[in-house]
Homo-oligomer: A and B are copies of this chain.
Amino acid sequence: MTEDRLSRIFAALADPTRRDMVARLAVGDATVGELAEPYDVSIQAVSKHVKVLATAGLVSQSKDAQRRPCHLEAEVFDLMTKWIERYRHQAQERYERLDAVLAEMRGDAQPTSLVPPPIAHQGAAS
């Protein structure tokens, strides 16, 4: 279920330490130990954070001897962006429609039907 996936992604990013790790991994892959260096917590705690990120699909781990290099899975960002953009556009459209109604109430427009334009997509702005 995509719902669950989104929940796990957002929950993973709700922690500042984990967001920081994502920032670090955007620069380049890193082992768990390397990820742990900046922080004042046990390596087990960092391992847990990585697990949360991996479960959310934000990070994948490979094997290099004892090391587990972590790799940022950038495609997940697309999923988030899609979710966000959907509602942003929807809310924005709503404002534009409200503006139209207000304009009509002021009497400066020709009487357009009050039925909202069925599909006015983003491009129409300006």
Q: How many copies does the complex hold?
A: 2
The residues of B that contact A19 with a CB separation of less than 8 Å are 3, 6-7, 10, 83
Residue A88 CB within 8 A of the other chain: yes
The residues of B that contact A53 with a CB separation of less than 8 Å are none
Q: Using a CB-CB cutoff of 8 Å, which residues 1-60 of chain A contact chain B?
A: 3-4, 6-7, 10-11, 13-16, 19, 22-30, 34, 37-38
Question: Given the complex of chains A and B, what is the CA–CA distance between A83 and B26 in angstroms?
Answer: 12
Residues 86-97 of A, flagged 1 when their CB comes within 8 A of B and 0 if not, give 111011101100
What 7 pairs across the A-B complex have the smallest Cβ distances? A11-B14, A10-B14, A26-B90, A74-B91, A26-B87, A77-B88, A10-B13
Interface residues of A (CB under 8 A from B): 3-4, 6-7, 10-11, 13-16, 19, 22-30, 34, 37-38, 72, 74, 77-78, 80-81, 83-88, 90-92, 94-95, 119, 121-125
